[in-house]
Amino acid sequence: MAQKRALITGITGQDGSYLAEFLLSKNYQVFGLTRRTSTPNYERIKHIEDKIKLLPGDLLDQQSLTSAVDYSAPDEIYNLAAQSFVATSWSQPVLTGEFTALGVTRMLEAVRQIKPKAKFYQASSSEMFGMVHESPQSESTQFHPRSPYGVAKVYGHWITINYRESYDLFAVSGILFNHESPRRGLEFVTRKISHGVAKIYLGQANEIILGNLDAKRDWGFAGDYVKAMWLMLQQPKAQDFVVATGENHSVREFVEQAFKAVNITNWKKYVKTSKEYIRPAEVDFLIGDATKAKEALSWKPTVSFKELVAMMVKADVDLLKKNSR
Ligand code: NAP
Ligand code: F7E
């Protein structure tokens, strides 16, 4: 059988790096879209850089996306690139819309014009549920986004469905709940906590300053979630799926568990809160119902909440030790 070809936008991000590894393990030829930066930001993919082909492009630039699809001639396209940090979406709402909403249309146009037989995955988000209308949230739950990011993702979700219905593209949307890993960006709460706890444990810091400790999220491991993306594109019919663990925890519980991982029980001594990290509108509570993915894709998460927290704290302790050598 001919080697399959995949194009990943957002390959330098958390999910892009895990997905590239996963597809290489399945013997895919992997192409990744990267935008120009004044210094390279290939930290997450440097261990596989010689096995993948990087192509220049930006979600703002239609021609670069069309060229990337043309050059890579992919069987599968994973559109993971986005302005993905919710807090930034209030300070840069227009840019978030350009990347995270219209960027999807630009990618779909490139597919429609150049490779309409390619299978297309869109990275949709549980942030679309926002102020939840029911719990747990499934594929049929109404959307009520609470940030410019969430609104942009709703657009990306519906334009994907629209291109599927208008042009008969194999285009699917994965509604993924929060997924984390040692490769998570430092600005996201889980990594901010694991990195902060590791610093306190090693005597390099004495506090972590956070925002809303009461928010609850359904947190899974990113390595598990990229497999679900791939499984969606292996189905006979294009359909959308929720991917989640079905369990949620508060930010406070994450903090407590992270300190526990390094045997610190009096965590309150080290944690402060500041209005700086409170959002103009919050998503208080998310919990996903991934029954459809479990049944149709035979997908299930393999890393528990406790294991995820321990994995992230350990990785940060190791990283900080290595950096201080
Ligand atoms: P991430 O670590 O922030 O990675 C985002 C990627 O998008 C990076 O490679 C980034 O490139 C790229 N990018 C941003 N703007 C771009 C542009 N204008 N042109 C080209 N590339 C651009 O995000 P992630 O956590 O891996 O998430 C992957 C996708 O899933 C995103 O669409 C996110 O919104 C969505 N999602 C994530 C979660 C989650 O919990 N992680 C849940 C649901 C949905 P640079 O490295 O150059 O910045
Ligand atoms: O916030 C609260 C914050 O920034 C989680 C993205 O991948 O998942 C992610 O979005 C919660 C929020 O992720 C701090 O208010 C408290 O309630 O880690 P986060 P997110 O907003 O859930 C979804 C599914 C995506 O699609 C997104 O791309 O934690 N929180 N204190 C804090 N959050 C941050 N960042 N920093 C704090 O100090």
Distance 85 CA to ligand 1 centre (A): 8
- Domain boundary assignment for the chain: 5-179+220-243, 185-217+248-283+303-323
124 in helix, strand or coil?
strand
| Ligand 1: residue whose CA is nearest its atom 10 | 10
What are the CA-CA distances from residue 53 to residues 11, 33, 49, 94, 178 (Å)? 11, 9, 8, 31, 28
Phi, psi of 125 (to 5 degrees): -140, 150
Distance 35 CA to ligand 1 centre (A): 12
Asked if 199 and 191 count as a contact pair (C-beta separation under 8 A), the reply is no
Region label for 263, one of left (φ > 0), alpha (ψ between -120 and 50) or beta (otherwise): left
Region label for 73, one of left (φ > 0), alpha (ψ between -120 and 50) or beta (otherwise): left
pLDDT of residue 122: 99
Instruction: Decide: residue 246, CB within 10 A, 0-12 exposed, 13-18 middle, 19+ buried.
Output: middle
pLDDT of residue 325: 84
Distance 70 CA to ligand 1 centre (A): 22
Asked if 296 and 239 count as a contact pair (C-beta separation under 8 A), the reply is yes
In whole angstroms, what is the distance from residue 23 CA to residue 26 CA? 5
CATH architecture for the domain at 185-217+248-283+303-323:
Alpha-Beta Complex (3.90)
pLDDT of residue 15: 99
Name the residue of 18, 19, 30, 84 whose CB sits within 8 Å of the most ligand 1 atoms, as the mutation to test its pocket: 84
In whole angstroms, what is the distance from residue 105 CA to residue 111 CA? 10
What are the CA-CA distances from residue 272 to residues 193, 209, 210, 256 (Å)? 12, 5, 6, 13
The mean pLDDT values, 10 residues at a time, for the chain of 325 residues are 96 99 98 96 98 98 98 98 98 98 98 98 99 98 98 99 98 99 98 98 98 98 99 98 98 98 97 98 98 98 98 98 93
What are the CA-CA distances from residue 153 to residues 93, 109, 174 (Å)? 12, 17, 11
Domain 5-179+220-243 coded CATH 3.40.50.300: no
Any residues with CB less than 8 A from the CB of 244 and at least 6 apart, and which? 126, 136, 137, 176, 177, 218, 220, 287, 288, 289, 290
pLDDT of residue 1: 78
CA 98 to chain centre: 18
pLDDT of residue 52: 98
- What digits encode the pLDDT tens for the residues 160-186? 999 999 999 999 999 999 999 999 999
Q: What angle do CA 36, 41, 47 make, to 5 degrees?
A: 125
What are the CA-CA distances from residue 46 to residues 49, 295, 317 (Å)? 5, 36, 21
Asked if 94 and 85 count as a contact pair (C-beta separation under 8 A), the reply is no
151 in helix, strand or coil?
helix
Instruction: State yes or no: is 149 an active-site residue.
Output: yes
Atom of ligand 2 nearest to the CA of 213: 16
pTM for this entry: 0.98
Distance 186 CA to ligand 2 centre (A): 11
Catalytic choice (64, 125, 126, 147): 125
Atom of ligand 2 nearest to the CA of 209: 38
CA 294 to chain centre: 20
Instruction: State yes or no: is 127 an active-site residue.
Output: yes
Asked if 240 and 172 count as a contact pair (C-beta separation under 8 A), the reply is yes
